[in-house]
Amino acid sequence: MTFARLVLAAAALAILAACASVPMAATERDFAAKEFAKPSRGKAALYVYRNESIAGTVKMSLQLDGALLGETGPRTFHWVTLAPGKHTLVGKAENESVVKFIAASGQNVFVWQEVKMGILSAENRLELVDEQAGRAGVAECEMAEASAN
């Protein structure tokens, strides 16, 4: 009976671990993103980070201007270049969180995806943060592979 419980517990852990995994970017891209270089003229960069471990089994999707950017898991971030101008970022979990921002040429924009426990699952809240807070948050994370680059 004990062996059966052990097998069941191992299977449950494997399922939970699989739920939280998101495709990860190559280590070289992670290091490059964490240099926080200013984007080239005519471009801006967006960093979206989730530096919390709460709701570690829950993936949350991100949409940038209506297109899938990728998914976040605990302690992950996305880094993508984009055209300067107005943009809309949507985080989807049990709820939807929307942040609208204007990216200037040569600017790094940082958005924190805060995670809270909801009624049935985790909820998210997107918040624009300053560069100092953004760099610190990204430094705690590993880069997830974006769906769109």
Residue position matching structure tokens 């801006």: 44
Whether 3 has a pLDDT exceeding 70, the answer reads: no
Q: How confident is the model at residue 2 (pLDDT cuts 50, 70, 90)?
A: confident
Starting at the earlier edge strand, list the strands of the sheet with 96-103: 67-72, 60-64, 85-92, 96-103
pLDDT digits (tens, 9 = 90+) for 80-137: 999 999 999 999 998 999 999 999 999 999 999 999 887 788 899 999 999 999 999 9
d(CA 74, CA 130): 21
Q: Is 46 left (phi over 0), alpha (psi -120 to 50) or beta?
A: beta
Average pLDDT over residues 66-77: 96
What's the pLDDT tens digit per position in 5-64? 654 444 444 444 444 589 999 999 999 999 999 999 999 999 999 998 876 788 999 999
The answer to whether 90 and 62 are in contact (CB under 8 A) is yes
Q: In a 3-state reduction of DSSP, which class is residue 136?
A: helix
At 27, give phi and psi (nearest 5°).
-55, -35
Q: What is the pLDDT of residue 13?
A: 44
What's the average model confidence in pLDDT over 72-87? 97
- pTM: predicted TM-score of the whole model, two decimal places: 0.84
User: For the chain, which domains are there?
Assistant: 2-143 (2.60.40)
